[in-house]
Structure 1
Amino acid sequence: MTPADLSLTVLHAVRRAVDDGALRVDVPPLVKVERARPGGAGEYASNIALTLARPAGRTALDVAGILKERLRDAPGLQGVEITGPGFLNFSLRPDAGAELVRAIRESAPAYDSGSDTTLSAPALAAPTPSGGAFPPYGSSTALVGTVVRFAESAEARAALVTETVVRLLRAQGADAGFGGAERIHVRPGAYDPTGLGVDAARWALLRPAPQDRPLDGPPLLVQHERNPLFRVRYAHSRVRRLLVNGEQLRVTPAYETDIDAPALLGALGDHPAVLLAAARHRAPDRVARHLETTADALLAFQHTVLPLGDEKPSAVHRSRLALAEAAGTVLAGGLSVLGISAPDRI
């Protein structure tokens, strides 16, 4: 993990603390990290808690504790300590990137988020290769013991948001459903009141926060980089094409050496926390926004993955391809929980 990686990781922790309501501050544009000074601990340190203390109306030690909790399982960090009046000190793990990619790749089922899906609590807790099951990477037991029952709604958007929230809650271990019902049945075309097609209709209704207006539908059908739905689905298709091209070049995905891709690694590492926050706050829009972040990072990274020209395949290319494959897994899983297809080709 480079200082740039660490800066992004801490910034993500601040953003999660703000999203969770633990801190009431404006998220800074960047977080400064520097080599730990004498008397500190670990390799790097940051004074971000001292910077945020006054606007948050908290002590620096309180802010540092809030951030430390959200950095506990961050990829690349071996430990976080608080020193002095509230400095955060970081010890790095040299193999964190490899562990993250391995965890994602090993959790990857064959996704099928078709339009006729029956979801049950056992299926979501133990994902299978079909049935729109939630991916293991990102699921947890954080909400075990939580029981949530929703009233059924005849209004299309309310029904869609609630169905998606139930998926998110169950994936975090909650007992969630409608009244006393054990199952949710999603009918073909049930959430396409606009005639846009299921994928665009669901994105139009789920991408905005529940209190905001649905997105304008026709722009979501345009295959252009200005269309976020297209970017997310296209990013997944690019991963599939990279894997095919890699096979032709005899480049097999295997994370063997550290890759300098802080934005992409940061987005992949944030995925579980985003899903948990989306479940807790009943906010599927957080998943959609995170998919955009992940897709943009992947699309910026994709051009470096495979050998160019006379360049010979190496461990770097195998590692980059493994990282791209992991990104494709996260994109497919996130689209799956939103009930949107992840095409192999666009």
Structure 2
Amino acid sequence: MTPEELSSAIRAALVAAVDAGDLTADLPDVVRVERPKNRDHGDWSTNIALQLAKRAGMPPRDLATALASRLADVDGIAKVDVAGPGFLNITLDAASAGELARTIVESGTAYGTNDAEAGHVINLEYISANPTGPLHIGHTRWAALGDAMGRLLRASGAELTTEYYLNDAGTQMDNFARSVLARAKGEPTPEGGYPGEYVDTLATAVLEQRPDLLELPEGEALAVARDAAYPLQLKDIRDTLEAFGVTFDTWFSEKTLHDSGAVEQAVARLREQGHVFDDGGAVWLRTTDFTDDKDRVLIRKDGEPTYFAADAAYYLSKKDRGFDEKIYLLGADHHGYINRLKAIAAAAGDDPGHNIEVRIGQLVNLNGAKLSKRAGNIIELRDLIDWIGTDAIRYSLARYPADSPLSLDGEELRKQTNDNPVFYVQYAHARTANVARLAAEDGVRREDGFDPSLLADPTEATLLATLGDFPRVVAQAARLREPHRVARYLEDLAGRYHKWYDTCRVRPMNADEEVTDLHRTRLWLNDATRQVLANGLDLLGVSAPERM
């Protein structure tokens, strides 16, 4: 019996009680069940009697007792206990609990998906590093967490678009062009420019495209350097992210906002809303009306729009493209942006508590990492991939909340020991694959038999209970935007699988032992665990190796 089936059974019992006149109350569409903290209290627990008692005009324990008597007759339920003020603790019979193994195997990659976020239309923006240099360790945390968050939201039914915002307009692009042109001329990096061997590489490539670069007037040469080097650097960013397992649905250019007039239109729209005012020759947005600490300039005295004006236009673009919810994942130095962005949302007529969500990722310190030879003054993501590997980096970053500073040891992440969480989980998956291979050699085949009532060992009950909890963990991780919940779940599942492996045999002891339904049914459980480990790792963007 799956959690969904149990929830339906409890609701059916409530409906029967209402029909019989034993209960008068408006019933919820879904009855929530959860795992008790203490496994001695049963397989599942619900507080539905506490929720309905006031509306029903009954003491919670009386309502729970009446409900327990009805549930006791449901096929698959072995025992129902009333605990505390009115909790219901439910124990499934072995056959009902064991049936979950077949459900998981037959569901395959769909197991764990849910509709908790169905109806949510979300734009998820993350990383959004300036396209003026390589990605570095400061971008790596959101690369891992943002991608995992997107996978979780999709697995939970959200209509999601992931987006990378390219800051390809403004002073940083001018400095980028000046840096490339200086290196093409053999000159040192200009003040405020970008150092590093990658600029030399870009300069060489630009000269190959435009051999006449150095003969052009300064202004034209700068424009050529920028326009030729920018797509090359953007390709480097894309290639690095793809090597890290991260792709985006949309790459959105800030420059298009300026070129299309969207920035000026955004200021006009906000003025119509009554939140824009003129003062001292500049144009301002009255963000103090929306909890910001001071009002913000949109257009400077010289007529040039600020970055904030582009931010406003970008927010309105998301709104106009039909995204009801906009999630921004920002770096540790962007705390000041939270109130500003929420003020833009409010000024645009949106609800800052619903239409916009801003999350800050704290810094990561990676012991043993070396500065990039190519970029000079940063720890480059490309080098981290080569040194540690995508799986180890992504998993290690995913297993901690984004809002806590993090210190990791690079050499520890490279070790293939059980002290390394990613190895521990991946090894569990590889072990399930090895068990399946060896079982096949011994003639143990799932299709020849399945008797879930045989899964009666305590380690099997515990393993099944953990497997059954996976959809809830996925839904909760998506709702809270916390991929680390999946990582910690996988580590718990791996531990429970290893204990089961040490206790229960899938294969016959020797060639003389007959293959029975017990072996075959345990193979179903082994393969169900394999599927859940693979599904969970995939949600984190981590591979599930067959051999290690």
TM-score interval (norm. to shorter): 0.5 to 0.7
1:107 Cα deviation after fit:
1.9
Task: Give the distance between the partners of 1:214 and 1:315, measured in 2 at CA.
Answer: 49
Task: Using the TM superposition, name which of 94-103 and 318-327 deviates more.
Answer: 94-103
Amino acid at match of 1:237: A
Match among 507, 517, 521 for residue 306 of structure 1: 507
Residue 214 to residue 256, structure 1, CA distance change in 2 (3 Å) = farther
Q: Which runs of no fewer than 5 residues in structure 1 stay unpaired?
A: 2-21, 35-43, 51-59, 109-134
Q: Secondary structure at the match of 1:187?
A: helix
Q: Secondary structure at the match of 1:205?
A: helix
Amino acid at match of 1:188: A
Map of 1:189 onto structure 2? 244
Match among 405, 415, 427 for residue 234 of structure 1: 427
Amino acid at match of 2:114: S
1:217 Cα deviation after fit:
2.8
Corresponding position: 1:276 with 2:475: yes
Amino acid at match of 2:532: V
5 Å matches for 1:76-155?
Answer: 77=77, 85-88=85-88, 90=90, 92-93=92-93, 95-108=95-108, 135-153=109-127, 154=129, 155=139
5 Å matches for 1:1-346?
Answer: 30=38, 32-33=40-41, 61=60, 77=77, 85-88=85-88, 90=90, 92-93=92-93, 95-108=95-108, 135-153=109-127, 154=129, 155-178=139-162, 186-189=241-244, 192=381, 194=384, 195-212=387-404, 213=406, 215-253=408-446, 254-258=449-453, 259=455, 260=457, 261-303=460-502, 304=504, 305-309=506-510, 310-346=512-548
Q: Is the 8 A contact 1:82 1:89 kept in 2?
A: yes
Deviations 1:181-240 (A, max 9, x none): 9xx995113675523110111112111121231533322221222222111111111111
Task: Give the distance between the partners of 2:146 and 2:429, measured in 1 at CA.
Answer: 26
Q: Secondary structure at the match of 1:95?
A: helix
Q: Secondary structure at the match of 2:119?
A: coil
Q: Is the 8 A contact 2:44 2:91 kept in 1?
A: no
Amino acid at match of 2:38: L
Q: TM-score, normalization: structure 1?
A: 0.66
Q: Is the 8 A contact 1:240 1:345 kept in 2?
A: yes
Q: Is the 8 A contact 2:97 2:461 kept in 1?
A: no
Q: Is the 8 A contact 2:99 2:452 kept in 1?
A: no
Deviations 1:258-313 (A, max 9, x none): 31212211110011000001100101111111111111111111242222245432
Q: Is the 8 A contact 1:97 1:265 kept in 2?
A: yes
Task: Give the distance between the partners of 1:89 and 1:335, measured in 2 at CA.
Answer: 31
1:151 Cα deviation after fit:
2.7
Q: Is the 8 A contact 1:200 1:217 kept in 2?
A: no
1:30 Cα deviation after fit:
2.7
Q: Is the 8 A contact 1:101 1:255 kept in 2?
A: no
Task: Give the distance between the partners of 2:488 and 2:243, measured in 1 at CA.
Answer: 25
Amino acid at match of 1:262: A
Task: Using the TM superposition, name which of 191-200 and 285-294 deviates more.
Answer: 191-200
From the CA coordinates, give the structure whose radius of gyration is larger.
Answer: 2
Amino acid at match of 1:157: R
1:318 Cα deviation after fit:
0.8
Amino acid at match of 1:220: L
Q: Secondary structure at the match of 1:148?
A: strand
Q: Is the 8 A contact 2:36 2:44 kept in 1?
A: no
Q: Is the 8 A contact 2:112 2:470 kept in 1?
A: yes
Amino acid at match of 2:451: E
Q: Is the 8 A contact 2:36 2:45 kept in 1?
A: no
1:178 Cα deviation after fit:
3.1
Deviations 1:71-109 (A, max 9, x none): x9xxx658968689414253635532343111111122x
Task: Give the distance between the partners of 1:45 and 1:320, measured in 2 at CA.
Answer: 23
Map of 1:17 onto structure 2? none
Question: How many percent of aligned residue pairs carry the same amino acid?
Answer: 35
1:167 Cα deviation after fit:
1.0
Amino acid at match of 2:508: P
Q: Secondary structure at the match of 2:409?
A: coil
Q: Is the 8 A contact 2:156 2:478 kept in 1?
A: yes
Amino acid at match of 1:256: D
Residue 81 to residue 169, structure 1, CA distance change in 2 (3 Å) = farther
Residue 29 to residue 102, structure 1, CA distance change in 2 (3 Å) = closer
Task: Give the distance between the partners of 2:111 and 2:146, measured in 1 at CA.
Answer: 22
